[in-house]
Amino acid sequence: MSKKVLIVGGVAGGASVAARVRRLDESAEVIMFERGPNVSFSNCCLPYHLSGEVEDADDLVLMCPEKFASQYNIEARVYNEVTEIKREEKKVVVKNLETGEEYEESYDKLFLSPGASPIMPRSIEGIKNDNVFSVRNVVDIRKLKGYADNNNVKDVVVVGGGFIGVEVAENFKMDGKNVTLVEALDQIMSPFDYDMVQILHKEMHDNGIELILSDGVSKIAEDHVELQSGKKINAEIVVMAIGVAPETSLAVDAGLEIGETRGIKVDHNYVTNDPDIYAVGDAIEVYNKITSKPCRLAMAGPAQRQARAAADHMYGRPHNNNGVIGSSVVKVFELGGASTGLNEKQAKAAGISYDIAYTIPGDKVGLMPGANPMHFKLVYEYPTGKILGAQAIGKGNVDKRVDVIATMITMGGTLEDLKELELCYAPPFGCAKDVVNHTALVALNLLYGEFKQVRVTEVRELVENNAFIVDVREKDEFEEGHLVNAVNIPLSELRDRLEEIPKDKPVYMHCRSAQRSYNAVRALGNMGYDNVWNVSGSYLGICSYEYFLDQVTGREKIVTEYNFN
């Protein structure tokens, strides 16, 4: 007897369930319900319509109901909202939003993929004004783009510095708007640690976006917003992007269990506490492979994998649920920023003993056109060396490097494994010792106590306390910019100027990217100096960390000139 499968919601989760069911069972009756007009669209591409990079909003729609029917024999009912689940009767109540008619539909198996909705705080005065928008689907982006064009909008305020907020801000700026991004936390992009995210802050600042941190919106008017600090900002459009909440009302009303993170609770196979109801996507609670704790992860990739696994389980096909690690990448003007696994904040919150290695190698052989430094931070468990996470920011292929780390984490890899990893190499693509191999070697030296490091976040305190800091770059490099109290002893002159380096107090060494200074640290260590430290990230890292903070706080610089290359 053929199955009757109902699916609530489309896009990455629901549409993937429908397609997988059809591939496994030609006889199944498959019906998808979508309360909007589009059952399958590229939600990750939505912000790029604002700049015209995706010129036509119609191109965001991937599959229409007619194609679902003709190509897959799947019935996709748009403008049809499931309002109730009658579990005892194995039926759902559906409202046709075009006609107002209500009807019931029976099921053998029901899949929930309702997604998550943008958070719109009622406490903000004016949150329902006509000039306030969110970005969730094609309808939203059409309205936002249409309003901006029809009203010749010049001033835009984006509230929230996550993926959507950053991408909307960037694309509006590329469209010639005056853009202000307001974030209540002290940084944008929470997957990145505070030291790394300053590079993204600088990139947004350099491209003309006004970035306001540690402040929130209290009131929205027709032509401005008022912040909690009392500051007023011109705003003809306000885009709310402070986060999303899982759509669980249908599940709650049906008596389905909700997890501790407020997502729908599912088992290993994405089955709810009702054996005939599955749930996938942004609305569910998932298992974090690294922390061994539940979490929520609103990402298209995991949703698609969940959908396939859930459909497979319905047909008795086995599935190995490895949990999630949280891999992502974002474009911020000329930079890419990628992350995977745990950052420092998350490792601390999970109570995991860890350390980090921060390097800035080249993304390809330096002789090649387009070679640039890549900031790379590796988080590993101490003392096991198990890899916990990574963050990479640069103009090169940051996603490639972080994807390698994501694979290592999934396979339970350690620093020793990463050190020996054999990767593709040619000068236009990378270096013989790739960014990830290079950082593994640095991390292993730290793990095994080969040398001691100082983080870029600690350098200001050293400078203010007049610590003995040695810059081992060549004289011409030093003259272009240096720490205000640094002594210039180039590596090429180090062995001839040992009398200038004290043995009775700590010595802190740096260069451009910490490689030459590392060699200086090792040389001094072999000559009896036992209190010598290397500054991780060195001058590139110091400038990248200090620049934006100096700009927004007006504090005294600790460098004579910033240098980012």
Nearest to 111 by CA among 6, 218, 262, 264: 6
Model confidence at 12, in pLDDT bands (50, 70, 90)?
confident
Determine the residue type at 474.
E
What does the pLDDT average to over 95-122?
A: 96
Nearest to 52 by CA among 174, 208, 168: 174
Give 38-80 pLDDT, tens digit per residue.
Answer: 988 888 999 999 999 999 998 898 889 999 999 999 999 999 9
- State the average pLDDT for the chain: 96
Domains of the chain: 4-49+59-116+245-314 (3.50.50.60), 132-165+180-238 (3.50.50.60), 328-450 (3.50.50.60), 453-553 (3.40.250.10)
CA dihedral angle for residue 415, residue 417, residue 422, residue 426, rounded to 10 degrees = -10
| H helices present in 275-335, as ranges | 300-314
pLDDT at 280 over 80: yes
Q: Is 352 helix (H, G, I), strand (E, B) or coil?
A: coil
pLDDT at 563 over 80: yes
Q: Provide the pLDDT for residue 62.
A: 87
What is each CA distance from 170 to 18, 51, 177, 204, 403, in whole angstroms?
A: 34, 8, 10, 8, 24
What does the pLDDT average to over 245-259?
A: 97
What does the pLDDT average to over 210-215?
A: 97
CA distance 339 to 360: 16
Q: Provide the pLDDT for residue 560.
A: 95
Both tokens assigned to 141: 């982006």
What is each CA distance from 103 to 65, 86, 97, 106, 281, in whole angstroms?
A: 20, 12, 12, 10, 26
pLDDT at 247 over 90: yes
Is residue 536 within 8 A of residue 454, CB to CB? The reply is yes
At 509, give phi and psi (nearest 5°).
-110, 140
Model confidence at 10, in pLDDT bands (50, 70, 90)?
confident
Phi-psi category of residue 75: left, alpha or beta, with phi > 0 → left and psi -120 to 50 → alpha: beta
Spatial CB neighbours of 274, under 8 Å, sequence gap ≥ 6: 87, 254, 256
Spatial CB neighbours of 550, under 8 Å, sequence gap ≥ 6: 557
Q: What percent of the chain has pLDDT over 70?
A: 100
Give 308-333 pLDDT, tens digit per residue.
Answer: 999 999 999 998 899 999 999 999 99
Order of strands across the sheet with 155-159?
132-133, 237-240, 155-159, 178-183, 210-213
What does the pLDDT average to over 221-226?
A: 95
Q: Provide the pLDDT for residue 448.
A: 97
Which uninterrupted H or E stretch holds 211?
Answer: strand 210-213
Both tokens assigned to 286: 């998932």
Higher pLDDT: 551 or 414? It is 414
To the nearest 5 percent, what fractions of the chain are helix, strand and coil? Answer: 30, 25, 40
Both tokens assigned to 503: 């043995």
pLDDT at 1 over 80: no
Whole-prediction pTM: 0.95
Q: Provide the pLDDT for residue 63.
A: 86
What does the pLDDT average to over 352-370?
A: 95
CA distance 36 to 504: 72
Is residue 262 within 8 A of residue 283, CB to CB? The reply is no
Spatial CB neighbours of 365, under 8 Å, sequence gap ≥ 6: 371, 427, 428, 430, 431
pLDDT at 472 over 90: yes
Q: Provide the pLDDT for residue 552.
A: 85
- As beta bridge partners, residue 95 has 81, 102
Alpha-carbon torsion 96, 98, 100, 101, what sign? negative
Spatial CB neighbours of 479, under 8 Å, sequence gap ≥ 6: none
What does the pLDDT average to over 516-531?
A: 96
pLDDT at 554 over 90: no
Spatial CB neighbours of 230, under 8 Å, sequence gap ≥ 6: none
